[in-house]
Amino acid sequence: MLVLLHLFVLFLLVGLGFYVFVANPRNRAHQTFAAFIAFLALWTIKDLIFWNFYPRESTAGWWVAASFVIALFMQFAMVVFAWVFPENARTPRKKAAILFAPSLVLIPAAAAGMLWHRAGFSNGQFEIDLTPLAYAFVIYVYVVFFYGAAILFGKYRKYRGTQEGQQVGAIIWGLAITGVLKTLANIAMPYFGIYSLLPLSTLFVLPGVLIYAYAILNFRLFSLQSALRQFRLFPIAYKVALLIASIAIVSFIIFQVPIVWWAFHNGMDAEGWRRYLVFSVISALVPNLLLVGLVLRTISRPLQRITLAAVKVTDGEYGTEVDLRKSNDEIGLLADSFNEMSRKMASDIEELQRLNAQLIRTEKLAAMGTLAAGVAHEVNNPLASISSLIQMMQARDDLPEDTLDKLKLISSQIRRITQVTNDMTNFARARPAARTSADINKIVNTSLRLASFDSSFQDLTIETDLAEELDPITADADQLQQVVLNLLLNARDAMPDGGSLSIGTSQADGEIAITIADTGEGIADDAMPHIFDPFYSTKPAGKGTGLGLAVCYGIVTAHGGRIDLAPNQPTGSIFTVLLPVDSEN
């Protein structure tokens, strides 16, 4: 019965320590709790061996020495916990060195048997005769204990009324309960010659340990909420531990028990030991290989896939994702986070490329604007002189008819050149800020009315879908009207034989969108990246200067917006102008 009790306590302690440690392995409080549990487990193993298996009459000395040393280490772990909890602070090394210094003498003294005159059994009753040094050892253990309790009490006063204060208060209660019960079982009763509770002393620590763990985990130990949280994130450490424990138990039942029975069924002779050792080694290979395979499947293979995906991303394959079976452990979360990061990286790089292209186009516009201003100025002056001379010649009455025709042709070409230079001047002209609150729907309707005076525009099928209650924007209404009118006339030119033109407005995510879609011939894929470049035109020679869309692009970007082009299905193009809504709206 005592063996089963010690085994129950041992498994409970190991499971509790492992549960608390894995909940937050990097937290110093959880680490010191795990250390405290480890020393307490050693205490339980010591009692398990001594009180159930060893010849107690001749080996009581090592049990006494181990009891003193392990008790001291448990108090050390408790003091370290008091230093680091709840702030997760570092251990003060100088204080620790001063406080723990006496152990450099006391621990070797315990190992050398200097703490007792005699320890053993008399008439079946355990007895021990301690030396004065043992009492000094006990006093030192209690000094360390009360020092740690004093630190915790100070922190309780500091954090009183908070969650941390409740945690520290619960831990103080756990220490008080543990201290009273351990003192009663290990010191007070043995002092009066009553040693019957010594084999059960481990049990007296369990109430305090449970309170201890309960407080560390924010009063969620074994609660439904904590269990669900652990189920949502099932750590790899739990998986590996369960794998090892399961395989050990199963292999013990399947292999070890039959091997032991077969090897020693005729007695524990040399032949039996030879059989046991040989076949135990052979049987150990099976569960170990199985364990290696499961660990590889659980950890190594997923990590390898994540590594290969990371290498691909490093090589420029942005957006690469890891194809893993869905799991709720750290690797599953790592894979999901990696996939999300890779997708976001691909999206961000695509956005950076778009912004870079926009920046290059803006710089090109600025350079071409400066050039256009100079060219327009240099060309307009001689054109004005030539135009004046032609008008003077046309005023004469003695010119032949063919000469007058040639002068008319020259005048028409001069007007064409003048139109080009005017476009260049408009493109290069610095536009003063004349922004007021503007209604986008009103701008679109005005542009449609102006375009409708064109006879070719009247042959188109016009469809409008203007959103109601659009927020106003701060903009130059005349410039935006120029943008919309230019896009409408470009759509007209793309449908010389008629077609359908759709104009719509909408608002989403702090932006107002103006969409103009035609069913014309569309724009080739290789032309789309250059469509907003100055002097680039898809129209036939003599039909356009290639400055209209460049001017539109400059106006829209100057308003903090953007203009996008996309193909229309099945034919045509869609221009979308996006403008930011005023932030105060």
Number of residues assigned to the chain: 585
What is the pLDDT confidence band of residue 106, given thresholds at 50, 70 and 90? very high
What local confidence, expressed as pLDDT, does residue 224 receive? 45
- pLDDT tens digits, 205-260: 778 788 878 777 766 655 544 544 554 555 666 667 777 777 777 877 888 888 88
Closest listed residue to residue 384, CA positions, set 409, 408, 407, 417: 417
Q: What is the pLDDT of residue 143?
A: 93
Determine the pLDDT at residue 150: 93
> Average pLDDT, stretch 543-568?
79
Extract the tokens encoding 243. 């794998």
Amino acid identity of residue 381, one-letter, is N
User: Taking residues 371-391, what's their average pLDDT?
Assistant: 71
| pLDDT mean over 550-567 | 84
Average pLDDT over residues 356-381: 65
With contact defined as beta carbons under 8 Å apart, do 83 and 33 qualify? no
HEC secondary structure over 388-412: HHHHHHHCCCCCCHHHHHHHHHHHH
pLDDT at residue 137 above 90? yes
Is 318-430 the same fold as 2-230? no
Contact between 514 and 505 under an 8 Å Cβ cutoff? The reply is yes
Is residue 101 over pLDDT 80?
yes
pLDDT recorded at residue 139: 92
Q: Domain residue spans in the chain?
A: 2-230, 233-314, 318-430, 433-580
pLDDT greater at residue 190 or residue 142: 142
Q: Where are the strands (E) in 434-476, listed by range?
A: 436-438, 461-466, 473-475
CB within 8 A of 232, min separation 6: which ones? Answer: 328
How far CA 174 is from CA of 21, 177, 274, in Å, comes to 19, 5, 51
CA distances, 254 to each of 240, 248, 251 (Å): 21, 10, 5
Q: Write the pLDDT tens digit of every residue in 404-462.
A: 777 777 887 777 677 666 665 655 554 554 678 888 889 888 888 878 777 777 778 88
What top-level class would CATH report for the domain 433-580?
A: alpha beta
Show Cβ contacts of residue 519 under 8 Å, excluding neighbours closer than 6 positions.
495, 499, 500, 501, 568, 571, 572
| Residue 238 confidence (pLDDT) | 67
Give the pLDDT confidence score for residue 422 in this predicted structure.
66
What ranges in 495-576 are assigned the alpha helix state H? 548-558
CATH (residue range 318-430) = 1.10.287
pLDDT tens-digit series, residues 302-346: 888 888 888 888 888 888 888 777 766 677 778 888 888 888 888
Query: What fold is seen in the domain 2-230?
Result: Rhopdopsin 7-helix transmembrane proteins (1.20.1070)
Question: Could you report the per-residue pLDDT of 254-300, keeping only the tens digit for each?
Answer: 888 888 888 887 777 888 888 888 888 777 777 777 777 777 677 77
Between 403 and 146, name the one with better pLDDT: 146
Question: Alpha carbon of 188 to those of 43, 198, 206: distances in Å?
Answer: 19, 11, 19
Question: Average model confidence (pLDDT) for the chain?
Answer: 79
**What pLDDT does residue 503 have?**
92
DSSP 285-328: HHHHHHHHHHHIIIIIHHHHHHHHHHHHHHTT-TT--------S
Q: How far apart are CA 69 and CA 514, in angstroms?
A: 81
Higher pLDDT, 404 or 103: 103
Q: What is the mean pLDDT of residues 120-133?
A: 79
